[in-house]
Amino acid sequence: MAENWKELWNKNYRGEGDCAELQAFIKKLNYGARTNISYLPWATVDRIFQLQDGTHEFINAPDWAIVYDQKGEITKSPYNSIVHADIAHTRDRVNAANGIIETELVFSYFILCKVEWQGRKHTEKYPLQDSNGRPITVWTQNELNKLSMRALVKAIARVSGIGYKLFEDGDLQFDDPDAKNTTGIGDNKGQDASAAQTAAAEKLKKDAESKGKKGATTTPPPTAEPTSTQEPTKASEAPTPSPAVAPEPVEPTSEPSATPTPQKAAETVTVAEAIERIKKLFIQGKPEHTGPVKAMLKTFTVAKVSDLPEEKIYELYHQIN
């Protein structure tokens, strides 16, 4: 039995036999801060799993389970729920306002999916979290359905090897948004996201160089005309500039040059405030925020926004706000 299940597990893992068609079903999606993620539809995975005599079950939390209410008092769960709660007692503290001892608790929520295959059993404890890996404490039916199917696909992969390679390439719970696809599944198209970031970095560098050249060629000429009392400059004498002497106020003959954006930002927010704002926008996971930040960090080969030059911090601040 042991050799049989191992042989079948390895065939599933390598995409052979029943899993030879998996390649055609692989899809891509943008998942929070991560882009171009490879995944398999749950129905495809479950179909192959059932053909190999696999079964699954979602385990409900028992109605007699002891839980805590909002006041930290022990009570009982009022119903059978697919969601299990992990409760940690962090500390007891005295409320300074009324002197009452209050209990501080931390709640974590999970779905339990039990699978059986070829005499093997596994129960997957899958956390309730959003697309950026942040825990959720309030959910809808749609969210529970999606999380249940993700838990099922992961449980099947672990017990049978079906689609296991995709998790080796990057688990949606834990993978680095910059990580590249290194498996044989999906033709390594996960590298497209990194290529897009490189292109964005090159564009950012070219824009910066273009702005520098434009600033060097648009310096306005002196606005003060020589008065009738000044002697004409001899051809053999080079004019001597006098930067320390301010010219008399005159009517402008051309539009004043625009003040660079970083200087305006410096007048309204501090560097620390700009960095904090950039961080808050980045963790939201929207491509219009994460893309420019990653491109700027890659251009200057630094790991943190705070390591960027001050003028680039302000430039990035205005770009994503």
Q: Determine the pLDDT at residue 52.
A: 94
Domain count, the chain: 2
174 and 205 part of one domain: no
pLDDT level of residue 115 (50, 70, 90 thresholds): very high
Residue with tokens 């998790």, as numbered in its chain: 167
pLDDT digits (tens, 9 = 90+) for 15-68: 999 999 998 998 887 766 667 778 899 999 999 999 999 999 999 887 655 555
Q: What is the pTM of this model?
A: 0.49
pLDDT digits (tens, 9 = 90+) for 122-167: 999 999 988 778 888 888 889 999 999 999 999 999 999 999 998 8
Q: Is 12 exposed, middle or buried (0-12, 13-18, 19+ CB in 10 A)?
A: buried
| Amino acid at position 198, single letter | T
156 and 13 part of one domain: yes
135 and 201 part of one domain: no
| Residue in 151, 166, 164 with CA at minimum distance from that of residue 12 | 164
Residue with tokens 């049989």, as numbered in its chain: 4
170 and 32 part of one domain: yes
Last residue of a domain, one of 172, 189, 206: 189
Q: Determine the pLDDT at residue 277.
A: 86
**298 vs 188, more confident:** 298
Percent with pLDDT over 70 in the chain: 62
For residues 174 and 132, what is the distance between their CA atoms, to the nearest angstrom? Answer: 10
Last residue of a domain, one of 174, 189, 204: 189
Q: How far is CA 226 from CA 111, 229, 256, in A?
A: 83, 8, 21
| Amino acid at position 212, single letter | G
Residue 76, in any domain of the structure: no
DSSP class of 252: -
Contact yes or no for 143/103 (Cβ under 8 A): no
Handedness of CA 166, 171, 175, 177 (dihedral sign): positive
pLDDT level of residue 238 (50, 70, 90 thresholds): very low
Angle ∠(148,153,137) on CA atoms, nearest 5? 30
**45 vs 190, more confident:** 45
315 and 292 part of one domain: yes
Q: Determine the pLDDT at residue 2.
A: 44
179 and 195 part of one domain: no
134 and 210 part of one domain: no
* Range of the structural domain that residue 19 is part of: 2-62+111-189
Q: Is 130 exposed, middle or buried (0-12, 13-18, 19+ CB in 10 A)?
A: middle
Q: Determine the pLDDT at residue 76.
A: 57
Pairing of strands 83-94, 101-117: antiparallel
7 and 58 part of one domain: yes
